Amino acid sequence: MITVDGNEAAASVAYLCNEVIAIYPITPASSMGELADEWAAGGKPNLWGAIPAVIEMQSEAGAAGTVHGALQGGALSTTFTASQGLLLMIPNMYKIAGELTPTVFHIAARAIATHALSIFGDHSDVMAARSTGFAMLASNNPQEAQDLALIAQAASLRGRLPVLHFFDGFRTSHEVAKIAALDHETVRAMLDESLIAEHRSRSLSPEHPVLRGSSQNPDVFFQSRERANAYYNDFPSHVQAEMDRFAQLTGRQYRLFDYAGAADADRVIVIMGSGGDTVEETVSHLNTHGEKTGVIKVRLFRPLDTQALLKVLPQSVRSIAVLDRCKEAGADGEPLYKDVVTALAQAYGAGKLAAMPRVMGGRYGLASKEFTPGMVKAVFDAMMADMLKQQFTLGITDDLTHLSLPWDASFRTDANRKNSAAVFFGLGSDGTVSANKNTIKIIGESTPLYAQGYFVYDSKKAGAVTVSHLRFGPDPIRSAYLIGNDEAAFVACHQPFFLERYDMLDHAAEGGVFLLNTQSPPGKAWETLPRRMQQQIINKKLSFHVIDAYRVAEQAGMGRRINTVMQTCFFAISGVLPREQAIDAIKQAVEKTYGRKGRRLVELNFKAIDATLENLHQVQVPASTTSTWEKPPAVREGAPEFVRRFTAELIAGRGDAVPVSMMPADGTFPLGTAAWEKRNLALEIPVWESDICTQCGKCVYVCPHTAIRSRLFSAEATANAPATFKHVVTRSKEFSGAHISYQVAPEDCTGCGLCVEACPIHDKSNVSRKALNMSPQPPLREAERDNFAFFLSLPEYDREKVKHTTIPGSMLLDPLFEFSGACLGCGETPYIRLATQLFGDRMLVANATGCSSIYGGNLPTTPYTTNSEGRGPAWNNSLFEDNAEFGLGLRLAADQLMAYARDLVKALADEIGADLADQILNASQADEPEIRAQRNRVAALLGKLKSIKKPETRSLEAVAEYLIRRSVWIIGGDGWAYDIGYGGLDHVLAQPYDVNLLVLDTEVYSNTGGQTSKATPIGAVAKFSAGGKSARKKDLAKLAMDYEHVYVAHVAFGAKDVHTLRVFHEAESYPGPSLIIAYSPCIAHGVDLSNNLRQQDLAVKSGHWQLFRYDPREREAGNNPLRLDSPEPSIPFKEFASTETRFTMLARSHPEEAANFIKAAETAARLRYAEYKDLAGLPLPGGNKREVEHD
């Protein structure tokens, strides 16, 4: 038995059975590719003793093309993907299927982006691929993900159809479970070598050449399509044959359609995917309680073998419900439902069915929506109604179209009651999840018990909360749903501050355990609980245990790492294993994790484990509550109605209960919601020392979370300021007499410390005292909260009087991007915030999928906000691959409609008045004051239009706002710009349109977990480049400069802040395409981001990153358009590389390669600098007007 998740289960088979693996990261399939890459890098052979070639492509389309080629070349080839990735593969899938090529694609099925993106699981993607000609085989749990991966491979070779092997994203792909492993002999026995040889013999070879992939005319194309029918007709029997062979080898029998339940069932549910297990569990419960129900678990969905389907359907059946995990908007039923109806109708028509059963179809589980036994029961109940409800929905409350079925959330199955359930609340960074994965392994490996683990994450990066759901029981666990209310025998809270945030004890079962990590002594811990929790402990008769895990960890030398301490507590209290055995097992797991390379860490962990039990205390629970406080509401008073009604529910974790009517129909949301989500993540926040501050604005400039601001105001404005509100007379002479304040948002600050790092001011007598110093947050929280509220109540200073081109000046401008959920110390967000400060009131943002779309637009809140006039960035995320094109579309619409509006102004000039019309038509709108003037003119225009009665008037009213210049920003990461979106980006750059492309270059795919992109530098270790990237970083800037009409710049705000500011102004003002490539340190570089600024500085000093601007306007002015803005590298590349794990870890795994790479990187850095210097020094024909400058 092994303990793995669904992705690993499937990937392990795929790896064994293939020779060429083409991959591309996409959630939730990424880890299959990552594992394959790691195995290959570690030299793990496939079944035939060779190490598969694993290659990351530029997109899923590229991966599919590569697989197609590898298959045509005679290799066994596979890929892993999901969602949008699968959509990109579809064209090739038609080809692969059309050519009858054996292969298996493994899919962690995921929702497709519609009104919103979702990374979670449903069948939208695989259903979109159902017409490709691929066979489709569904697995319901990690065991099946492994087993059917192999059956698919065997059947594909046998029957020559490619197979889409899929399982539910997250629910199966990420569920950790104890499963029976496949050994090599079984895999070998399933794969017929002669079939592989046949596959090779059909490949393209100059030794026996053929033409394949011809182009056909109306005369024969149709017949060709029909020629392959036999392969489809035969395929189900091949699959069944392989399933039977597999059963002989392993004892695990699968069928095309697996029926479970009563032989004489009157009601049967037909379902595909993980939900099938939940239905089966419910069916067996209902049947032992006197009902006659059944379930058909569909395994082979394409080609659909209706005979086989009907064969397993009990004759006694009177009603059938078909559940689809997808939505086909506009259809009168979802695909599986319609297939079943068709099958029944055809059988009935052919006289093979005596009577036509009643069939109902419904939807469940979209984007990992919970699907529970209570819902299954609701379906069985609904099947007894006189009139069957069609297109019903499960798991939601539809108060608009009333399609949803009500369900009993407290319904539990007997099987479920047999299991022990435990729920753990932890922080993403505190190791709770990894400890729980270990716990499952320990239980799985040290006891006969089966174990299941599923992990729920929130959508933040900084301070993310994780909830681990663990089940253990005597039988294989098929409960493919979360642990519900009153179900967990064990609830653990790993972070004391969760007490004021989450209703954790809702999960607790009567007589269960509540374990709390708290710094309060055992005698005081009870008092720290909110009243409701105390009541729950009393009512549910919970035993209450506490430990100060931070102290135990600290004393053992482990800092704030509490995972093994909490894990030890779990075992000690739960008694799943005898204590001694449990502790031994935890220690073994620690040794396995840290191994030889971290042997002292092993000792520290042992020390912590040994110290745990004496620090674990049971608290005597009083007979009645004593607490005087309740968990505060999710958002504070004063929030807008939408936030109170909707956003607050999501923040509080009650989003599942939001009814359909409350949702915007088209995915449109208001801005400014992040400001209401006070997360209080910082242990320490900056305190402003106004006496020594020179008001340079650098702290505001570098803050990744927009949590420190500066504002200018009159002294009188502070008449009603709170007593502790700090403000001083500004040092700036232009605003003589005005006051300035630097104010922290105490509950939004994440405590990263970058502001203090950036502060250039030291107390002259004490260098350690800066103009900003970190200080513990809790004692400051309330006063600073009031101060910040007061600060926000002050109006923004007159933007026309502030210098936008200096750091102190520009930092007085209101940011329209605040409090994002980005990582602590994020290197990307300051660039976006800066753009909104400068241009926010006129920005359109096209955002490529990635980190910036997640911290920019993942519900519950968005950091984008509006100014006091209600203007701000309008934002949309189209796709990952099309962002440049999407942004161009926004530009074209703006230009087209501006031109139309201008025509209308011209046509109505007499009525509008020639002066106003002329002013509107001739406005340059080159800068903000001019844009503001134009806004005023447009307002005047709209005023006048009211009284003009001509047909064009209404048209002009509708487009008048287009007369105001819009600033289009196309924002995304390097994965988009260098790889998947490069074709589009290149094309957009080649056009003359005024768009600003901001590439947040983290040099890896950050959002999916640090995979290599073409921006990854040589010698860096990243996922898919475990041995160090061998090619040097693509020079996107140089490629763009080649067009000669593109404004191009390389910036790094932490190296030269004012340069970045200048570039943003120049790029925005340039009337053609502008490309800003912004160096963005990322946690994936393997360096703590409290060093963000230092890393940028080192990157520039070492020549890893050059600063320059290429401004085509300079050429028109007779100058060389390129200016190199960073000096000659002044430190060796090695010095920069030695500070980042992405470079240093290679020296520990591949020392020789590492040394060579460092040399190569050094050379590349110097060369690149030299090249740029040469380019910047080239005289234009006729000579430069400007002296060639170097910094």
Task: Show which residues are catalytic.
Answer: 27, 60, 110, 1007
Stretch of residues binding another protein (CB under 8 A), selected from 75-83, 216-224, 959-967, 1002-1010: 1002-1010
Residue 1086 found at the interface with another protein (CB under 8 A): yes
Among 133, 431, 827, 873, binds another protein (CB under 8 A): 431
In whole angstroms, give the CA distance from residue 226 to residue 811: 68
- Given the complex with another protein, which of 16 and 509 has the nearer CB atom? 16
Q: Pick the stretch among 45-53, 477-485, 659-667, 1141-1149 that binds another protein (CB under 8 A).
A: 1141-1149
**CA–CA separation, 116 vs 552, rounded Å?**
44
Binding mask 167-186 for another protein (x = CB under 8 A): ---x----------------
**Can residue 466 be called a binding residue for another protein (CB under 8 A)?**
yes
Q: Which stretch binds another protein (CB under 8 A): 389-397, 684-692, 954-962, 1144-1152?
A: 1144-1152
List C-alpha distances in Å: 20 to 37, 101, 1080. Answer: 11, 14, 33
Rounded Cα gap, residues 299 and 163, in angstroms: 12
Q: Interface with another protein includes 1007 (CB under 8 A)?
A: yes
**Coil, strand or helix: which one is 637?**
coil
Of 507, 935, 937, 1150, the residue at the interface with another protein (CB under 8 A) is 1150
Of 489, 510, 478, 487, nearest to 371 by C-alpha is: 478
Instruction: Note the residue count of the chain.
Output: 1191
Binding mask 86-125 vs another protein (x if CB under 8 A, - otherwise)?
Answer: ---------------------------------x------
- Figure out which of the listed residues 237, 397, 528, 1141 binds another protein, where binding follows CB under 8 A: 1141
- Kind and range of the H or E element at 721? none
DSSP 883: H
State yes or no: residue 38 binds another protein (CB under 8 A): yes
Among 350, 623, 665, 767, binds another protein (CB under 8 A): 767
DSSP state, residue 1023:
B
397 belongs to the binding site for another protein (CB under 8 A): no
Q: Hey, which bits of 922-1071 come out as E strands?
A: 967-973, 996-1001, 1004-1005, 1011-1012, 1047-1051
Task: Please provide residue 946's backbone torsions phi and psi, each rounded to the nearest 5 degrees.
Answer: -55, -35
Q: Does 563 bind another protein (CB under 8 A)?
A: yes
* Residues 33-47 as b or e (16 or more Cβ within 10 Å = b): bbbbbebbbeeeebb
**Whether the Cβ atoms of residue 415 and residue 375 lie closer than 8 Å to each other:** no
Residue 756 binds another protein, judged by CB under 8 A: no
When asked if residue 892 is in the footprint of another protein (CB under 8 A), the reply is no
Under the binding rule (CB under 8 A), the answer on residue 568 touching another protein is no
Binding to another protein, residues 692-751 (CB under 8 A): none
Binding mask 829-868 for another protein (x = CB under 8 A): -------------------------x--------------
Q: Which stretch binds another protein (CB under 8 A): 568-576, 595-603, 654-662, 1030-1038?
A: 595-603
Q: How far is CA 231 from CA 191, 200, 341, 1065, in A?
A: 19, 19, 24, 62
Cβ atoms of 1047 and 1066 within 8 Å: the answer is: yes
- Single out the residue of 1010, 1081, 1103, 1121 in contact with another protein (rule: CB under 8 A): 1010
Q: What dihedral angle (degrees, nearest 10) is formed by the CA atoms of 862, 864, 870, 871?
A: -140
Task: Provide the 8-state DSSP code for 136.
Answer: E
User: In this structure, are residues 840 and 853 in contact, taking their beta carbons and an 8 Å threshold?
Assistant: no
* 508 token code pair: 């607790």
> Cα–Cα–Cα angle for 1005, 1009, 1010, nearest 5°?
50
Task: Say if residues 269 and 360 touch (Cβ distance below 8 Å).
Answer: no
Q: CB of residue 690 vs another protein: minimum separation in angstroms?
A: 21
Asked if residue 45 binds another protein (CB under 8 A), the reply is no
* Shortest CB 675 distance to another protein, Å: 23
Q: Which of 391, 397, 866, 1144 binds another protein (CB under 8 A)?
A: 1144
Of 35-43, 746-754, 837-845, 1173-1181: span binding another protein (CB under 8 A):
35-43
* 3-class state of residue 379 by DSSP: helix
Taking a C-beta distance cutoff of 8 angstroms, is the pair 176, 375 a contact? Answer: no
- Does residue 499 bind another protein (CB under 8 A)? no
Identify which of 176, 79, 70 has the alpha carbon closest to the alpha carbon of residue 129. Answer: 79
Work out whether 807 is an interface residue with another protein (CB under 8 A): no
Q: Binder to another protein among 19, 34, 277, 818 (CB under 8 A)? A: 34
Cβ contacts of residue 1086 below 8 Å, gap of 6+? Answer: 1140, 1141, 1142, 1144, 1145
Check: CB of residue 794 under 8 Å from CB of residue 717. yes
Is position 41 an interface residue for another protein (rule: CB under 8 A)?
yes
Give the distance between the most distant pair of CA atoms in the chain.
99
Q: Which is nearer to another protein, 533 or 759 (CB)?
A: 759
Q: Is 1009 a residue that touches another protein (CB under 8 A)?
A: yes
Bridge partners, residue 137, by sequence: 165, 300
Per CB under 8 A, the list member of 65, 73, 98, 428 interacting with another protein is: 428
Nearest approach in angstroms of CB 291 to another protein is 37
What is the pattern of x (binds another protein, CB under 8 A) and - over residues 1027-1066? ----------------------------------------
Binding-residue total with another protein (CB under 8 A): 68
1126: number of Cβ within 10 Å = 23
What does the alpha-carbon distance between residue 593 and residue 571 come to, in Å, rounded to a whole number?
Answer: 19
Residue 1145 binding another protein, by CB under 8 A: yes
DSSP 481-516: S---TT-EEEEEESSGGGGGT--GGGGEEEEEEEEE
Residue 883 binds to another protein (criterion: CB under 8 A): no
Give the C-alpha separation, 418 to 452, whole Å.
13
Considering the complex, state which of residue 37 and residue 1114 has its C-beta at the smaller distance from another protein: 37
Rank residues 602 and 721 by Cβ distance to another protein and give the closer one.
Answer: 602
Q: Which amino acid is at 465?
A: V
If binding is defined by CB under 8 A, does position 31 make contact with another protein?
yes
Q: Which of 349, 474, 760, 1179 binds another protein (CB under 8 A)?
A: 760
Site residues (CB under 8 A) for another protein? 27-28, 30-31, 34, 37-38, 41-42, 119, 170, 427-434, 456-461, 464-466, 561, 563, 593-594, 596-598, 600-601, 760, 762, 767, 823, 854, 1004, 1006-1010, 1021-1026, 1082-1084, 1086-1088, 1141-1142, 1144-1145, 1148-1151
